[in-house]
Structure 1
Amino acid sequence: MKSAVRTPFFEIGVKNYLYGDAVVELAWAADGAAAEYDIDILFITPYVDIRRIAECTDRLIILAPYMDTLRPGRGLADVLPEGLKAAGAHGVVINHAERPVPLAQIRQTIDRANELDLLTFACADTVDDARAIAVYRPDILNPEPSALIGSGRTGGLDFMRASTEAIQAVSSQTLVEQGAGIATADQVHQYIAAGADGVGVASGIVGVGDPIGQLATMLEAFVDARALRPSPTKLGR
């Protein structure tokens, strides 16, 4: 059975800003906050840290940054879906702007992940791309214009509403995350208070001098904004 995801959720993308013990320390902090505030936190970690994070945390929903669609056997250097699950991953990111794949491969990856009950977290560069990917019913879709990633500028609430409407018109069960460009607690608060299913932050946390402190500040804003919303719900509303 796939991991359940309640809304609103918070997602952290480590990318390669951190490595080794620094990733584990951030994961510990996120895990503690997930328990304290009763938040579902998605944690996208480098492959090499998946097992360490899985073994030292209880509440995080761990996502691998990519996977191939091969099956056990040959394939040196490919990322085996069964291997990710065995290491402790709960899901996989598909088509991030830093690892884009063709639409046909997106479909194949979603199908393979579904075979293993891995959550599918797909990314799209435009609303039209998001609409096309939504046909394959990923569990979560993150429409993030690549020009905004790491910029500190977001698409704003109009983009949030347009992208959410477009995706859920095709796949009503797909959760929609807002992520590109989020770098401040005020931006987190704005999206959550406005009704976003979830928000995601990468360089806005892991690219600053004090990632753990920045995470704490953003989660305080998240919790404050969540109090303005109805009770959280699970994936599959």
Structure 2
Amino acid sequence: NTGWISPYSVKEAGATGVLINHSEHKIPEETVIKTAEKAKQYGLKTLVIGHTIDQVLKFDSLDCDFLGYEKEDLIASPVSMIDQQETAIRELVKKIKHPLIIGAGINDGEDTKKSKLAGAVGVLMATYFVTAPDPEAKLRELANGFIK
């Protein structure tokens, strides 16, 4: 769920977590706060996404499980977030209390490996996985970047 369905409905459908403020459904910061609170009331894991470093720093004060950092201009791009923002990501990880997940342009195991080395605990990815000729092989490649 990327924000189009209420936390209550997500929970009733059997999901265990939500993405809040995903680029395909950005919401005002006040709504991010209320949605994160409501999701916690229903026992859902929460990943709150910021699209700028300042926004991620602001969302770090929320009661969420993970923070996401995803620059919109890099989504589905051949340039990965980690290649363009590695130094900023390393610094961001030092400043926040929540585990960081990064996204945008993540397309191979090398990107996931570099993300882990920069301090991220996970990656958001869709395009390169969904469009892969062999999605299972692509998922294994991406996962191996975190294992090795």
- Amino acid aligned to 2:90: R
Q: Which residue of 2 aligns with 1:209?
A: 133
How large is the Cα RMSD of the aligned pairs? 1.6
Higher helix share: 2
Equivalences for 1:28-177 in 2 at 5 Å? 64-67=1-4, 79-153=5-79, 154=81, 155-166=84-95, 168=96, 172=97, 174-177=98-101
> Which of 111, 115, 118 is the aligned partner of 1:187?
111
Unmatched runs of 5 consecutive residues or more in structure 1: 1-63, 68-78, 225-237
In structure 2, C-alpha distance between the alignment counterparts of 1:165 and 1:180, rounded to whole Å: 21
The number of residues matched between the two structures is: 145
Which structure 2 segments of 5+ residues have no match? none
Distance 1:198 1:80, change over 3 A: closer
Report the 3-state secondary structure (helix = DSSP H, G, I; strand = E; otherwise coil) of the residue aligned with 2:63: coil
Q: Tell me the percent identity.
A: 28
Separation of aligned partners in 2, 1:145 and 1:187? 15
The CA distance in 1 between the partners of 2:52 and 2:7, in whole Å, is 27
Deviation for aligned residue 1:118: 0.7
Look at both structures and tell me which one has the larger radius of gyration over its CA atoms: 1
Structure 1 stretches of at least 4 aligned residues deviating more than 6 Å after TM superposition: none
Contact 2:8–2:39 (Cα < 8 Å) also in 1: no
Q: 1:189 to 1:122 in 2, by over 3 A?
A: same
Displacement of 1:196:
1.9
In 2, the alpha carbon distance for the partners of 1:132 and 1:189 equals 27
Higher relative contact order (CA 8 A, sep 6+): 1
In structure 2, how many angstroms separate the alpha carbons of the residues matched to 1:84 and 1:189?
Answer: 31
Q: Answer whether contact 1:92 1:120 (CA < 8 A) is retained.
A: yes
8 A contact 1:143–1:163 mirrored in 2: no
Tell me how far apart the structure 2 counterparts of residues 199 and 159 of structure 1 sit (CA, whole Å): 16
